[in-house]
Each structure stands twice: as structure tokens, then as C-alpha cells.
Amino acid sequence: MTTSLPQAKSWQSTADASATIYPEPFWRSLLYFNVYRLLMASGIVATTWLSPESSFGSYNPRLFLYAALTYTAFSGIALLLTRMQRLYFNWQLAVQICGDVVFVAILMYSSGGIQSGLGPLLLAPLAAAGLISRGRLALFYASIASIGILLEESYALLYVEGYHAQYLQAGLLSLGYFAVAWLAHKLAKHAIANEKLAWQRGIDLASMAEVNQLVIQDMQDGVLVVDENGKIRQHNLQAERFISLTPGGAAVQELADCAPLLASQLEAWRNSGNIDFDLLQMSASNTLVRARFVAVKGDRRINTVIFLEDISRIQAQAQQLKLAALGRLTANIAHEIRNPLSAISHAAELLEEEKNPDPAHLRMLRIIRDNTQRLDEIVQNVLQLNRRDRATLESLHLVSFVHTFITDFCHAEKISSDVFVLDITDQYIVNFDRGHLNQVLWNLCHNAWRYCCKQPGSIQLRATERAAGNNINLDVIDDGPGIPSALLSHSFEPFFTTAASGSGLGLYIAREMCKVNGAALDCLESTTGGHFRIVCRKSVSHA
């Protein structure tokens, strides 16, 4: 018979059958057993009807025919009740087995007793009952069948004239009933143990699959599973960020449609084996990645796992390590560097104060002074890297803050305030550390003044509110030549500069300070000049 896995509650309540809620597999097995009973009873009726000369009903043909018809009707009613699942499972099974014993005993009696050969008809119901009920009450059903056979022999001995009871054959048949019931009981226990093991293994596999899925989704690298036809079968969230994938992956997508360059690398790898490919610039995310291909089961022509490694993240980590080491080194030797720098600068100033100095000497002294100032600025900027996390956020009224900043900047740089054009309304209030925002703006405006045309209105400060989110854009725009497109990706790298006197740390420190304040600093490509944008958080209390 067909056996299936019950739910976890069924395992915990096997000792109390009345409290067990039987799931669908139990009812399905009982339904199949009822179909078998109906076919068997119908077969007996058909044999009796079509072959009157058969040994069935040899003692009492009328009783045999009525019993067979009633047995068929009983089987049909039992099948209907089982399909409806209206009555309790254990009661249905017990009534059906008892019905089998009664009807088979009547059929045996009307056919001349145990010598009719109908006794083995109970073997199949006993085996089925043991398997369906998971071994419970199997021996009890065997005892009922044995009692029914012995009662049938005893009744025939008492009321059938000239009948010789065959208790030995009845006893052997009863032993067969108990043997089948015991075997069904053992098989049911073995099936239960296997089902428990399979159920537990299923839970373990499901847990392992969930853990694997969580690990894959939490990976920093993008993961793609591509079949032999180039279709993307699986991917994680990082892969969605790198290439143009539909979120959720409801439909199967072609790798060639989402990432043509990656698809060409995959095809080349499948044809040529191990190849060192160049880095890929993902157009969807503008991210530089390295693709690594791994064949499933060693066959490159079937499913392939593609790992997309974010090179920009690795470069950022390397820069952080380099700057951390440099910061610690500079902090330890800052005083040792500044002391001789101060002495050199002071000596140069004294030499410049001499009467009638040689012009060549003055030029050399000016070079010494400029380079000492540049070295001191580099040390100061690197020291600030260790203090960039110390931010005290406050609500800043942007228009008044920028007005004060422009006044201080123009006074320090000795330039006219007409250079600046403001486009900021009174309503914008941002959350930012006052000193950090002042330093970021000072750095951006200093660069803008260095490269602009130095005419009235050459530098524009503009504030706009973003359509989505709780942010405000503060743009610094100049009318200079701008940053070439090839250098945009390197503009915020530490120690990268195109100016001979620059340290290359200003923009990097400015971006780091923006990050500390929950803001962002970007360099936008523009055809009219340099364009930097600070994305600030709007003050919550004034949102």
C-alpha cells in the first residue's frame, strides 16, 4: 500500500490514536484500499453471476449471492465515506475490517466452510490495515479474523448436517493471519522510521538551502548561475546592482541582453578554458568588476557560476589601509617633521629681511618658503584624516551660513565677493557639522577660484531640494575648463592631483567629512566648467 509522510504532530501523538489528526496521505491510502475492496467484491459477484457452475456458493447459493451483493454495496458506501472524510479515520478502518471478516465468513459458510478456499481473502485487508494504521491494532484485527473463522467453523459444525469441522486448517489459517499482521506491523515501524529520517533530512536540506541562499545573498560579490543556453537561472542582490537584471528574477533573462561583454567573456572561457580577462565596466552601475567563471560538475558547457568581484570596493579598502597606516605614521612623526620645517621657514624669512638681497637668492628663498608651506599643508591634511569622524551635527540655516562663508573666504583669499553668485532660498536648513561644512566648501571654492575665469559671477553656489527623499543639493559650479571625463573617476582618490603645488588630499578629505555627516559629495560631468554637488540631509525638525 501507499504510505506517505505525516506531519510533525502525528509523530508526537502515536500513543493516543484518538488525539491524532490524520493528514491527507492516510486518507489517500485508505481510499486505495477501498477501491481494492470494491473491485474484489464486484469480481466475486461477476464470477458468481457469469459462472453458475463455480464452487462459490456450493452449500447455499442464494445466501452467497446476497452476501456478495451486500459486500459490494458495503464496499461502495465505505469508499464514499472515505472520500468524504466525514467520519473519524480509526473508526472507519475498524468498521471496514470487521465488515471484511463478517462478509468473508458468510461467503465461506455458504460455500462449504474453510475448504472453499475463501479464507485467504482476509490476508490482503489485514496487511493493508497494518500498513495504513502504521502498525497500530494490526494484531487486534488478526485476532478478530481468527475468531471469525473459528466461529464460522463452529457454527457450520452445529447447524450443518454431516459437516466435519476442520479446526486444524482454521488454526493454520489463523496463524497466517497473525503472521501477515505481524509482518505488516514490522514493515509499518520500518516505514515510520524511514519517514522520520526522510522528514528530518528534508528539514536539514531545507535549512541548508536557506543558509546557502542567505550566504549568497549576503556576499559582497555578485553571483550568477547561467545555463548552457546563456539564460540566467539564479542571481543575488549584488548581481542585480552590477548588471541590468529585473528585481526578483520572475522571468528567465538572457545574459547577452543584460551584460553583452560578460556574455562574450563567458563564451570565450567556455571555448578556450582558463583566460585572464580584462576588467569590465558595468554600464548599469558604472562599477569596475572582475569576472570569475566556475564550471558546475567540471563541464563548462552546462551550468556555470559567475562571480563578479567589485574591484572598486577592493581599491577603496586598500586606500583605507594605506591611509590608516600613513595617518599613524604621520601622527608619530608630525612634530619631528614640523620642527625642521619651522626652522627652515624661519631661516628663510630672516634671510629675506637682509638689506639689498641678491635677486637670485630671493628666488631661491621663495622656493624654500613655498615648499615648506606645501609640506606643512600635507602633514596637516593627513592629520585631519584621523579626526574626520568627530562630527557634531547641528541645524544650519543654509543661506546665512553660505553668506558668512563667502565673506570669510573672500577676505582670506583677497578677492571680490562679486565672483560668487548665490541661488539659495531662505527655507533650506540642513544637518551638518559647522566646521566640516565650512572646510568642505572652502576646499571646493578654493579649487573653483583656482581654475575659473576670475570674472564676476565665475563661481555659482546653488541649492535645490531633491524630488525624492529628505535631501538638499548644494552645487558649486565654476566657469573654468572643468575636469576631463577620463579623470572624473580619479578626482576623489587620495594624493591624486593635476596641480604641481597640490597635495591631492583636499577632495578626498572633503568627501570623507561629508560621509561622516550623512551627506555625499559627487563630481558631475559638465560642459560648462567644474561642477561639484554636496547632497545634505534636510533638518528633520524643519522638514
The C-alpha cell at 6 is 505525516
3-class SS of residue 313: helix
Burial class of residue 353 in the structure, from the number of CB atoms within 10 Å of its CB (0-12 exposed, 13-18 middle, 19+ buried): exposed
- If DSSP codes are grouped into helix, strand and coil, which group holds residue 165? coil
Which pLDDT score, from 0 to 100, does residue 86 have? 65
pLDDT (0 to 100) of residue 3: 39
Q: Where in the chain is the domain with CATH 1.10.287?
A: 314-385
- Domain ranges in the chain with CATH number 3.30.450.20: 219-313
Q: Name which of 166, 101, 125 is nearest 37 in CA terms.
A: 125
CATH superfamily of 393-542: Histidine kinase-like ATPase, C-terminal domain (3.30.565.10)
Sheet harboring 280-282: ordered strands across?
Answer: 253-254, 231-235, 222-226, 299-310, 287-296, 280-282
Q: How far is CA 36 from the centre of its chain?
A: 47
Q: Over the chain (543 residues), what is each successive 10-residue block's mean pLDDT?
A: 39 38 74 86 84 74 87 88 77 84 86 81 83 75 84 81 78 85 83 85 87 78 85 82 66 79 84 74 71 80 83 71 68 69 78 73 78 73 59 86 90 88 85 87 89 89 77 89 74 67 72 83 81 85 50
Whole-angstrom distance, CA of residue 86 vs CA of residue 426: 76
| Contact criterion met (CB below 8 Å) for 513 and 443 | no
**Cα separations (Å) of 495 from 221, 357, 499, 508?**
28, 37, 11, 8
Task: Give me the pLDDT at residue 371, please.
Answer: 76
pLDDT at 246: 66
Taking the alpha carbons of 170, 174, 180, 183 in that order, is the dihedral positive or negative?
negative
pLDDT reported for residue 11: 36
Which phi and psi angles does 272 have, rounded to 5°? Answer: -115, -5
| Beta carbons of 6 and 22 less than 8 angstroms apart | yes
How far CA 419 is from CA of 180, 404, 482, in Å, comes to 104, 15, 17
Cell of 496: 591624486
Nearest to 536 by CA among 339, 345, 401: 401
CA dihedral 40, 45, 49, 55 (to 10 degrees): 70
CB 292 within 8 A of CB 307: yes
Cell 475498524, residue located: 94
User: Which residues of the chain form CATH 3.30.565.10?
Assistant: 393-542
Q: Give the class (CATH, top level) of 314-385.
A: mainly alpha
Q: What is the pLDDT of residue 468?
A: 58
* CA distances, 63 to each of 68, 104, 153 (Å): 8, 12, 17
Fold classification of 219-313 is: Beta-Lactamase (3.30.450)
User: Distance between CA atoms of 362 and 131, rounded to whole angstroms?
Assistant: 109
Size of the chain, expressed as the number of residues it contains? 543
pTM above 0.85, yes or no: no
> Which of 480, 484, 438 minimizes the C-alpha distance to 455?
480
